[in-house]
Amino acid sequence: MLLHDDSSEAQTNSGEKKDGCQRLSGIQRDGLGKVFINSRAPVLQKSGELSRESALQLSARIRNIGIMAHIDAGKTTTTERMLYYSGYTRALGDVDDGDTVTDFMAQERERGITIQSAAVTFDWKTHRINLIDTPGHVDFTLEVERALRVLDGAVAVFDASAGVEAQTLTVWRQAEKHHVPCVCFLNKMDKPAANLSFSIESIKHKLKANPVLLQVPVGSGRNFSGVVDLLTNQKLTWKQTSTRDDGQVFESKPLDRSDDPELLHEVNEARTALIEQVADLDDEFADLLLTDFSDNFDAVSSSKLQEAVRRVTLARKGVPVLCGSSLRNKGVQPLLDAITAYLPAPDERHHDLVRWYKDDLCALAFKVLHDKQRGPLVFLRIYSGTLKPQSAVHNINRNSTERMSRLLVPFADQHVEIPSLTAGNIALTVGLKQTVTGDTIVASKASAAAAARRAHNAGGAGKRPGEHASVVLSGVEVPDPVFFCTIEPPTMAKQADLENALGCLQREDPSLKVRVDPDSGQTILCGMGELHIEIVHDRIRREYGIETQLGPLQVAYRESVLHGASAADTLDRTVGERRHVVSVELAVAPRDLAAPGGSCEVAFTEELGGQLSTEIKAAVENGVNGAYLQGPLLGYPLQGVATLIQRVTMEPGTSPAMVSACVSRCMLKALRLAGGRVLEPVMSLEVTVGEERLGTVLGDLAQRRGTVRDIQSRHDDKVLLATVPLAEMMGYSTILRTITSGNAAFSLELDTYEAMNQQDQSNLLKRVAGLL
């Protein structure tokens, strides 16, 4: 029997004091309790020049991972336990107490939710883990998107009593889109309703994934005390004592006949199923079993089984599943071991464009923060080369060169300056004032051109050498906002301050859009939901000291056309001594709203396409796309419209700007002739409610023009799946709380845009005109 204390090194060093700081295994705390990473920690810092072999060895011990889940599944609590057991914090933080490391914003601590992703860097045994804790609320889904874009692996946290929930599906789809290998952690195994088989089945059926169960829980509900590792047949038990109940120490012993017979039987069956499942998914392991262990599959060593599980995970053929209870401090250390054992190192992920840079610097900016003292702080994922402070770097997207003044390692809201960082790491830089989310950072223009030449010579890009677009890393997809409202400063003297604040917040959060209404001159704030806009409003007040006024929330509608129509127009204008004459003929028609490749398109007739120069074609497309921004009914952007350019004639000397202007005017004519219809955002709604309140919730949804898609059972509760127009969901959280006496939870996310019926559209037009 072994007693494990995985932070023994940290505990040994914790008593040392030097220069007024308490030293803690790669971290320092000052008297104020602030956390600082010790730059002399062996894994965290490698100063000086590294050979290519040393850099590869170091890279193999790095894990860039994200924690993702539905809201309240326990992501932040799990992160907090990881930091504590790795020796990087001295006290266990609690979301309810508002003292967690990664939820450092005032709004996060007040609400008990994660609003923006936070990066922390720590060591676990011989590995460095760069971890990003992401939000679970749908309003902040961009934070998950941009984190997964640069991460190599992810931990999906599940509430073991609920299984796969609405936002779990969303973040899982995002991970699949970026081909990120995952490990599943069934949290909250101490809840009375926790159910291992139910959670496994929901992963299998809802996520269409292949769960590979690596642990069996010992006990259930309040009696949950540990897990049995199916690879090693070791029983890991966490026992709370009067002297310590932080989960730091746990008991590890092999299963024997003195253990519960039911547990022994369950473990034997689960291990046999595990070996068979891995053999089905991994040919190499299947060959090993048939060759060396044909008489007794169970005799296969745990190391061979672990290697096979790793191959299955990296190939994304299966997802390892572990159990625990982060709040009760059980099962987190094995999860950390699984992260280092099964999730990929940076050099095990294939990034096609990066190889053209060889050993030159190539990095992607995926997040920007504004610091009052330091200015913009840019998070970079380094894919190749080495990053050093006081060096000039080239931003390919902005075609600009900037000087990076300082280089930091992120630790939530505390950062430590370091002399260099190599490929595979996540860095925080100071001094990049023009860089925004999604920009590609390289060493110089020359290195970008060299990479473009290599890609061209190898046939990896269809562009000419020197065209840098061929070696730009793909950026971060930003979703369109669905809510908007007006925002006004208290006095006109504060207008400039408000514009500066909104500019900084937009740079931090690309899903936040700001525009000025051309008619009223008011500033319009566009966001992903009620909570999103509420948080932005609160940040402007707290961080920038501006007491702004918000107008009523409004829905971001779209417009389309009812039928096809053609129009022609001629523009004849003299500017100075130059006469511009251009004639345009075009046709618009509705197209399928769900068609791939975008919501609107522009095309030329075959004959016309061969006659027009590239410059004039671009001018025509600019005119059409400009017209798409404002529909004929209410001025909302158009969606589901196809435009065919049939004729463009002009006299010599006519400028492209005049061509664009004529096309826009002709488009407006055609759109009016085609008849307009309004498209409204329709949300996917999931409500979890007790059976006795289900009828009340259904009745309320019927009044909101909701359509019920399915009603599922989850233990004693019902899960209602429906689609509802966003316009009907204003203040729904308050109403739902009232009609269910606070015994219901819901999640909402954008599903699609659908055409309104004639009566609802007529009412909307009257309301906008002030007639209702």
Annotated binding site: 69-76, 133-137, 187-190
Euclidean distance between CA atoms 240 and 246, whole angstroms: 8
**Distance between terminal CA atoms of the chain?**
76
* Distance of alpha carbon 253 from alpha carbon 233, whole angstroms: 9
Binding residues for GTP: 69-76, 133-137, 187-190
Crossing angle of helices 332-342/75-85, nearest 10°? 90
Angstrom distance (rounded) from CA 65 to CA 148: 8
State the Cα torsion 92-97-101-102 to the nearest 10°. 130
Half-sphere CA count of 20, side-chain side, radius 13 A: 5
How many residues are present in the chain? Answer: 772
Q: Are 421 and 379 within 8 A, CB to CB?
A: no
Number of Cβ within 10 Å of residue 94's Cβ equals 14
Beta strands in 545-640 (DSSP E): 549-550, 554-555, 558-561, 565-575, 578-590, 600-604
Residues in CB range of 762: below 8 A, 6 or more apart: none
Instruction: Answer whether 377's CB lies under 8 Å from 430's CB.
Output: yes
Half-sphere exposure of 24 (CA within 13 A, CB side): 24
Q: Which amino acid appears at position 648 of this protein? A: V
Q: Concatenate the DSSP letters of all residues of 560-572 into one string.
A: EESS-EEEEEEEE
Amino acid at 223: N
Secondary element (H or E) of residue 746: strand 744-755
How would you classify the pairing of strands 717-725 and 2-5?
unpaired
